[in-house]
Amino acid sequence: MNPKFGYPATADDYREKARARLPGFLFDYLEGGATDEQTLRANESDWANILLRQRVLVDVDEVDTATTLVGQSCSMPVVLAPLGLAGMMARRGEVQAVRAANASGIPFTLSTVGICPVEEVQAAATEAAWFQLYMIRDRARIEALLKKAWSAGCRTLVFTVDLPLPGMRHRDFRNGLASPGPRSKLLKIQQLLARPGWIWHVALRGGPLSFGNLSDALPDASNLDAFKEWIDTQFDPTVTWADIEWIRSHWQGKLLIKGILDVEDARQAVQLGADAIVVSNHGGRQLDGVASGAGKLPEIVAAVGSQIDILVDGGVRSGVDIFRALALGAQGVMVGRPWAWALAGAGEAGLTRLLTSWQQELRLAMTLTGVTRIADIGNDQLDRPHKPKYPKAGEQQ
């Protein structure tokens, strides 16, 4: 169904609505991946290769999708992932998103490079948002951000570790977002003029479109080109595991390490006292040709699943995909693009409807595989009878 002529039902429906509303460079920023986008495509397609084991005549009268993620009670095992520039996808986008997440009973994560500052987001929230951090060269700036987030009420920190340098995203170069100069400005102006609704609702009525959490560090926080120049010099390729210890010593709350794709890195995160890890390739936006989250999840669960909570992201597009991730051993999933598509395409109400739909899909998957609790979802619900079982966090090996 073309979502322009009916009610959007799926993540893809909202994606098309977002395409129709956003300036081209913003849609491509949200949509694109690194270089040839092989990993971007694999993130989504690899979930489809995981078959579920349908069971019948099981008492599934009371199916419960509720769970606990990193100590927080949730209506379902989903977290809205951090997303830079989210406040440009809809008017004060992070504020709308945190309200939708809270209404749906799940956590929202605010990006360091979000548009709305953490104080504004927390003021709109009924449940404290999680805060995402990049390690940048200016350690005083890091300390200031951590204090800012803590003072605002954040108690869960998501530390993204797979960005020592920005990935090469050819879409951003082609449409002028990542290429400086007058031609780039002209390209962006042309794309903006093609979306007068966005100019009115987001740019004019949703301002200021500045990077709220970094506004005091940037001379021109509302200038995308100036911001890119600043941030490209701030990503720190010298970061090592010793810096994780430094972060741990400066953060009193829960700590998630996001960007783990290797068993040895997962073990290091456990040793350094992380509360959880996120198996992630940054949505296919960093290094093309690496494995998908679905592809790496089983071996990482097998290695450290009894010692730490594990979330996964990348390509999750439905409640069935959430179920697949749990069956492979994750405690929950993070989702990025789908929540931004829904927000851009249909606002806070659209995001709430998408999350409600996913919860219904998850409940149906549980019902037809014969489980009634999130904790009961595991390898037995996969149509892979010879695959070895592995423990979840807190279980004995």
Q: Residue 339 belongs to what H/E stretch?
A: helix 337-369
pLDDT at site 230: 66
Lowest mean per-residue pLDDT among 2-11, 157-166, 176-185, 217-226: 217-226
Q: Is it true that the peptide bond before 208 is cis, omega within 30 degrees of 0?
A: yes
pTM, rounded to two decimals: 0.91
What pLDDT sits at residue 135? 79
Looking at residue 231, what is its pLDDT?
A: 65
- Whether 389 shows a pLDDT value over 50: the answer reads no
Q: How many beta carbons lie within 10 A of that of residue 143, not counting itself?
A: 12
3-state secondary structure of 219: coil
Q: Which has more confidence, 249 or 100?
A: 100
170 is catalytic: no
Residue 225: its pLDDT value, please?
A: 65
State the chain's mean pLDDT as an integer. Answer: 89
Q: Is the pLDDT of residue 347 over 50?
A: yes
In this prediction, residue 396 carries a pLDDT of 44
Q: What is the pLDDT of residues 97-153, one digit of tens each?
A: 999 999 999 999 999 989 999 999 999 999 999 999 987 778 888 899 999 999 999
SS3 137: coil
| Backbone CA torsion sign across 288, 293, 294, 298 | positive
pLDDT at 385: 44
Predicted confidence (pLDDT) per residue in 256-278, tens digit:
999 999 999 999 999 999 999 99
Give the pLDDT score at 290: 95
Domains and CATH numbers, the chain: 8-381 (3.20.20.70)
- Token output for 277: 């890890």
C-alpha span between 69 and 56 (Å, rounded): 29
Question: Using alpha carbons only, what angle is made at residue 149 by residues 280 and 102, rounded to the nearest 5 degrees?
Answer: 70
Following CA atoms 265, 266, 270, 272 in sequence, which dihedral angle do they give, to the nearest 10 degrees?
20
**CA 188 distance to own-chain centroid:** 26
Kindly tell me the sign of the dihedral angle through the C-alpha atoms of 78, 84, 89, 94.
positive
- Give tens-digit pLDDT for 308-342: 999 999 999 999 999 999 999 999 999 999 999 99
Contact 171, 32 (CB under 8 A): yes
pLDDT at 221 over 60: no
End-to-end Cα distance, the chain = 47
Q: Which of 392, 396, 383, 291 is nearest to 53 (CA)?
A: 383
Q: Which of 170, 201, 250, 282 is catalytic?
A: 282
Buried b (16+ CB within 10 A) or exposed e, 281-313: bbbbbbebebbbbbbbbbbbbbbbbebbbbbbb
